[in-house]
Amino acid sequence: MSHLILFSRLIPLVFWVVLGFLALFLISPFKFVKLKKKIISYWSKTLLALFRLRVICKNTESKVVPPYPFVLVANHISWIDIFVLLSMFPVSFIAKIEIKKWFFLGSLVGMAGTVFIDRNRRKSIREVSKKMIQGSADRNNSYAFFPEGKTSNGKTIQKFHSGLFSLLFENQELKLLPVLIKYKKDYSFTEACAYVDDMTLIESVIKIIKTPNLRAEVEILPVNIVDRCENQLPSANRKYLAAQARTRMLEVYHR
């Protein structure tokens, strides 16, 4: 791809990010929750279209997707996972605090209602859990997080951190929605979207732009694939739930 073509692809992306920033900045002071979610969904779909990344969704029958409120857990490959999921689900994300430093995108994610977690502080998970419990009092407000805690190259699903799974025991109304994301080029696995190692955000953006025929395959798993073992200590409960969720997700991911 020539520098001229690359530049012509980057300009609309920068414009769209700035426009999204301004839209959320203007609407943030007001409690237009439904309108904000619609704006975020539309903005995310358009962003993916500008990247020429096609989203293919599987298992979207109403019997699969639980009613609100739910907690969505997904495998984590790239920063763009967030926008793939926001294009489909009106959720608030729980994300690592480092995302705040992303140029413009960090501010966008923050104004979209993201709850940031500092994994270097032990109390941070407890603070986030309290915010989620308060927020989920609104039955239309659901959350999403990446239990792996960091991105991977997408070849497998890494070990799950169990801390945030405690929310599902503290609030029994919440349902667990496991979701799988795979990136493919010409129907074959690709690492083009993987945001790993020392790669910068701009390097990742350029790599995605330069890769043609990209698609994100999103598969929604039945919510009842995970059993809760509630006769144990709280720490054992969440570890059990995290392990069971990962095991079932791996079974589908590698089939």
Q: Quick check: 168 and 241 in contact, CB under 8 A? A: yes
Q: Domain 3-253, CATH 1.10.3470 — does that match?
A: no
pLDDT digits (tens, 9 = 90+) for 39-92: 999 999 999 999 999 999 987 655 567 777 889 999 999 999 999 999 999 888
Q: Which of 62-66, 102-106, 242-246 has the highest mean pLDDT?
A: 242-246
Is the pLDDT at 105 greater than 70? The verdict is no
Kindly indicate the confidence band of residue 11, based on its pLDDT and cuts at 50, 70 and 90.
very high
| Every domain of the chain and the residues it spans | 3-253
> Cβ contacts of residue 212 below 8 Å, gap of 6+?
52, 185
Residues 69, 131, 106: CA angle, nearest 5 degrees: 95
d(CA 100, CA 102): 6
Q: Which of 24-33, 97-106, 234-243 has the highest mean pLDDT?
A: 234-243
Q: What number is the average pLDDT over the span 145-160?
A: 94
Q: Quick check: 85 and 79 in contact, CB under 8 A? A: no
d(CA 6, CA 124): 40
Q: What number is the average pLDDT over the span 123-127?
A: 71
pTM over 0.85: yes
Kindly indicate the confidence band of residue 168, based on its pLDDT and cuts at 50, 70 and 90.
confident
C-alpha distances out from residue 25 to 103, 142, 162, 248, Å? 15, 22, 34, 40
